[in-house]
A and B are shown apart, each in its own frame.
Chain A
Amino acid sequence: MSRRTRWWQRALFYLPAAAVFLGVIALWEFTVHSGVLPPPSAIINALIENWSSGRWPLFIAARNTFVEAMLGLFIGSLLGVVAGAAVARWATARDAVLPIAIAANAIPIIAFAPIMNNWFGVLNPLSKAAIAAVLVFFPIFINVVRGLASVDPAAIELMRSYAVGEWTILRKVRIPVALPFFLTGLKVSTTLSLIGAIVAEYFGGSSDVIGRVVVQSASALRWDVSWAAILFGATTGILFYLAIAGAERLLIPWHASVRGDGST
């Protein structure tokens, strides 16, 4: 089994998915003629017309939303890592806190969006970032705690045979072991941060953001613009995810999730 597959083999692998995608787009284009769901060509048109001018400058809206999401991702990840590292340090704290965190993770945090809007001010982008941060916090926290705790006891014993301290064990063993867990949490969080930001925008705020554009254009019955905004949000989310997946390939090339050749 060769570790490097040729480009055309890869292309061949993605061919069915691409065919299905294009087929659905074509079917959509030629069969659907409704106001609520305009054909793809109309959506693309709206996208081009409203790129950066007019009542709904989509590119600017997407950029603003992306900044909110990024800010939320950054704050949420930072808090998740710090809290995770603190809790993982003590087994009793871990056992006490982890079940609560997992339960909290099941709460539809989005429901807090109006409250956050009140706390931080509805016009303040920080109120959107705050919702994104809360959404991001839990998966990062849970993954960091699990990662730091999933060290092979024999590896710890090996390090003890070298008579090194806890700090060195953290640096040389626990952090590298936890890194793939953290990156898994981060991948999930890219999507969550965008969801958090956009849904928070639905509840009000400055108008040049994806969430507001969707709400306002929909109430103005400009469905083509709404869909163009959604397309923008979707693309941003996918690129965001791919960026982290790419970072994963660079940071943990040795990990089973990345090497993808099934060898042990």
Chain B
Amino acid sequence: MSGPQSEQASVVRLTGVDKSFTGRGETLTTALSGIDLDIRRGEFVSLIGPSGCGKSTLLRIIGDLTQPTAGEVMVNGKPAAAARRGREYGIVFQAPVLFDWRRVDDNVRLPLELLGVGRAEREARAREMLALVELTEFARHYPYQLSGGMQQRVAIARALALEPALLLMDEPFGALDEMTRERMNSEVLRIWEKTGTTIVFVTHSIPEAVFLSSRVAVMSRRPGRITHTVEIDLPRPRGMETRENRRYFELVTEVRHQLRGGEADDDVTAGIDQIAAEDGIE
């Protein structure tokens, strides 16, 4: 699925990224250590790891929403901060974070509005995005009238409204039930194939990571580092039958094995709460 692997085709490039927090009592907690990651245009890369491994922190570093302690973060060939200012990525959180007071289409229009896109184009683009997530008939509904899965689809439409080169997804389906999650997985693949957007996807679900990704980066617990990368060579397009594929099970087993191998001792250090909070885990 990945295109020509030239230098310019790198959408995300992390070199030697470290992140540490100063926790209670001045203890320094290393959340991320020596992260190197190169994500090429059109790739679907999942970051998987146990709770508190800093995978959400890593995603936020890519989005320039938190600063690394050391290392270089390049997005679309420029520093992460410049990419954020250029609105070059879209982001989807675990919660849909829709604005209750805006109707569905007004929520999708939000980033266009902030960018000063003209009204006619805003409306056309919102319509297009809602069609993409198959919510056209709910355009004039309020978020509270939608189910959780539908709300998350609106959030995806909003993230794609600026047609970003990069889509960051932070456990977007973690709060959904298993059936809805599987449907949303197929939905995301369909959107990814249609738009060609590069996706970085944080999850702690092994089946989800294997089903979706072209590559799975396995992370270890504190200090968070990428211990293995598993190429997912399942054929595309992937659908329900993929989940029954023999190779699928092999890859799930491999990722699980890598996760076990990467697991550190269960010592509780100060600052873990902070990292867990960053990861959105209670």
Interface residue ranges, A against B (CB under 8 Å): 152, 154-155, 157-158, 160-164, 168, 172-173, 176, 179, 252-256, 259, 263-264
Question: B72-108 interface mask toward A, CB cutoff 8 Å, 1 = contact, 0 = none?
Answer: 0000000000001101011101010101110000000
Report, nearest first, the 7 A-B pairs whose CB atoms are least far apart.
Answer: A154-B97, A176-B101, A163-B85, A254-B142, A161-B91, A162-B114, A254-B101
Inter-chain contact B65/A154, CB cutoff 8 Å: no
Q: Is the CB of B144 within 8 A of A263?
A: yes
A263 to B141, CA, bound (A): 13
Q: List 14 A-B contacts (CB under 8 A).
A: A154-B97, A155-B97, A157-B65, A158-B97, A161-B63, A161-B89, A162-B111, A162-B114, A176-B101, A252-B101, A254-B100, A255-B100, A259-B144, A264-B144
B245 adjacent to chain A (CB < 8 Å): no
- B145 within 8 Å of A (CB atoms): yes
Residues in B with CB closer than 8 Å to A161 are: 63, 65, 84, 89-91
Distance A164 CA – B87 CA, assembled complex (angstroms):
10
Residues of A contacting B65 in the complex (Cβ-Cβ under 8 angstroms): 157, 160-161
User: What is the bound-complex CA distance between A255 and B85, given in angstroms?
Assistant: 33
Q: Which residues of A contact B87 (CB under 8 A)?
A: 162-163
Known contacts A158-B97, A162-B114, A259-B144; 14 additional CB pairs below 8 A are: A154-B95, A158-B91, A158-B93, A160-B84, A161-B91, A162-B87, A163-B85, A168-B114, A176-B99, A252-B101, A254-B101, A254-B142, A254-B143, A263-B145
Give A136 Cβ to nearest chain B Cβ, in Å. Answer: 25
> A263 to chain B: which residues have CB within 8 Å?
144-145
A163 to B85, CA, bound (A): 5
Interface residue from B84, B89, B97, B114 paired with A152 (Cβ < 8 Å) = B97
Closest to A158 in B: B97
Which residues of B come within 8 Å of A, CB atoms? 63, 65, 84-85, 87, 89-91, 93, 95, 97, 99-101, 110-111, 114-115, 142-145
Chain B neighbourhood of A163, CB < 8 A: 84-85, 87
How far, in Å, is B157 (CB) from chain A's closest CB?
14
Shortest beta-carbon distance from B113 to chain A in Å: 8
CB of A154 within 8 A of CB of B100, answer no
Inter-chain contacts of B145 with A (CB < 8 A): 263
Q: Which residues from chain A contact B110 at a C-beta distance below 8 Å?
A: 172
Q: What residues on A are CB-neighbors of B89 within 8 Å?
A: 161
| A263 and B100 alpha carbons, distance in the complex (Å) | 13
Distance between Cα atoms of A147 and B144 in the complex (Å): 19
Cα–Cα, bound, A97→B91 (Å): 36
A254:B144 contact, CB within 8 angstroms: yes
Residues of B within 8 A of A173 (CB): 99
Query: Which A residues lie within 8 Å of B63 (CB)?
Result: 161
The docked-state distance in angstroms from the alpha carbon of A259 to that of B144 is: 10
Q: Chain A contacts of B93 at CB under 8 A?
A: 154, 157-158
How long is the Cα–Cα vector from A52 to B196 in the complex, in angstroms?
A: 76
Cβ of A169 to closest chain B Cβ, rounded Å: 10
By beta carbon, the residue of chain A nearest B63 is A161
B84 touches A155 (CB 8 A): no
Which residue, B85, B101, B114, B142, has most C-beta atoms of chain A within 10 A?
B101
Cβ distance B78 to chain A, nearest Cβ, rounded Å: 13
